[in-house]
Amino acid sequence: MSTLDGKVAIVTGGARGIGRATALELAKRGARVAVIDRDSAGAEETARAAGRGAFALEGDVADPASVAALVAAVLERAGRIDVLVNNAGITRDATLAKTSDEAWDAVVGVNLSGTFYMTRAVAPHLTARGGGVILNAASIVGLYGNFGQSNYVATKAGVIGLTRVWARELGRKGVRVNCVAPGFIATEMTAGMPAEVLSSMQARTPLGRLGRPEDVASAYAFLASDEASFINGQVLGVDGGLVLGT
């Protein structure tokens, strides 16, 4: 198992789902994790479960002032930052004609702008130390689109683009930037979908099941480790082969 001993990692959206699983996995591999979420109680519970000095911070990645305060708090508590996992994300699904301005702005604010604000705030600390890792949450729909998700798809395609830009800009300063593109993962976000939709997702996945949050967390942990030291600017699909089944 790849080790993250002595590293300090930030995981946004860490109260539940993939974010929670990622925080737990990074901690299991030796990292001290700062769990960030708007749900303070959920973030605290994740931090308690993670152990190893993990701590929770309440904040909103879509608010630049909140982001600045969060990063300052992590540095005050932990003294350094080595890994940033931009996991926070929301959906507000609707077809094009029914997508409101509010739904568009909310999803773009968290998924895309939030990733930008967090990275902009953390990157100087990584480059000043001569290295670090930034990992972004993309999605398979950012590569291939999905019916009724104009806002979500736009953000995930944007995250892929930002990942490639930052890999070029920050790689020369020792910072690796990659993203993970999950397929259909069994989380609280998908639990609210109709049963027939979930069955269709599973049927379209060649491995014959939905992914688990732990599947994605393991990918993040690998990319955060020194075992991935020559991987930069990549999109790692964790989708059970879904592309083959579409």
pLDDT at residue 188, as a whole number: 79
Cα gap 134→103, rounded to integer Å = 27
Q: Domain with 227 in it: what CATH number?
A: 3.40.50.720
Q: Is residue 197 assigned to a domain? A: yes
Q: Is residue 243 assigned to a domain? A: no
Averages of pLDDT over each 10 residues, the chain, 246 residues: 90 98 98 98 98 98 98 98 98 96 98 98 97 97 92 98 98 98 86 76 86 97 98 96 65
Q: Which residues contact 52 (CB under 8 A, 6 or more apart)?
A: 27, 30, 31, 32, 33
Instruction: State yes or no: is 152 an active-site residue.
Output: yes
The domain of 202 spans 8-235
pLDDT at residue 244, as a whole number: 53
pLDDT at residue 201, as a whole number: 78
Q: Is residue 242 assigned to a domain? A: no
Q: Is residue 210 assigned to a domain? A: yes
- Which is catalytic among the residues 117, 144, 152, 220? 152
Give the chain's domain count.
1
Q: Is residue 88 assigned to a domain? A: yes
CB atoms within 10 A of CB 177: 29
Q: Is residue 64 assigned to a domain? A: yes
